[in-house]
Amino acid sequence: MSPTIPPSMPSLPTVTASPSSGTAPANQPLPSSTGDTVDLSSLGRALAALGQTNQPSRTEGEASGYELPEEAQRLMELIQDLQRQLQEKQQELMQIMADANLSHEAKQVKLAEVQASISALTNNLMSAMNQLLQMLEAENQG
């Protein structure tokens, strides 16, 4: 039986907004350079913050310019950490597959271990994302 490789995790859409006056309250339009307005909900701000984490001008833990509830920020940090761990496990999976020094049986055992870790991380990531989504949807309704 040959191992299956899980598909790569889809990346979250990147949303960029640059308010000229700092933070904006929830559901308030933000001015843009073209004169149009952008209205970001808490969910949109959270997704924007997650999508901007790979930009070099930001430091880890730095606010995205939008105030999110502390629990939402904690969940976003957890999501980012889980995504990082998943990437590491996927790289480890590829290294095992490319290792010509391992016997077929040893390779199968190691692949199964890493795949189990990937599965657990994926489940944790989906759970954290669902929690964040529910929290932000409840905040928008309330």
| Dihedral angle over CA of 132, 135, 139, 140, nearest 10 | 60
Residue 69's pLDDT is 84
Beta carbons of 9 and 79 less than 8 angstroms apart: no
Q: Is 13 inside any structural domain?
A: no
- pLDDT the model gives residue 114: 96
Domain assignment present for 92: yes
| Predicted pLDDT at 68 | 77
Measure Cα distances from 62 to 17, 58, 66, 83, 113 in Å: 16, 6, 11, 18, 35
Residue 17 pLDDT: 43
What is the domain count for the chain?
Answer: 1
pLDDT at 43: 60
**Calpha distance 23→70 (Å, rounded):** 16
What's the predicted TM-score (pTM) here? 0.57
Q: Consecutive 10-residue runs of the chain (142 residues): their mean pLDDT?
A: 47 42 45 58 63 49 64 94 97 95 95 97 96 89 78
Domain presence at residue 77 = yes
Residue 74 forms part of a structural domain: yes
**136 is a domain residue:** yes
| 23 within a domain of the structure (yes/no) | no
pLDDT at 117: 97
Q: Does any domain span residue 109?
A: yes
Sequence-separated (6 or more) residues with CB below 8 Å from residue 69 = 42, 135, 139
Domain that holds residue 48: 29-141
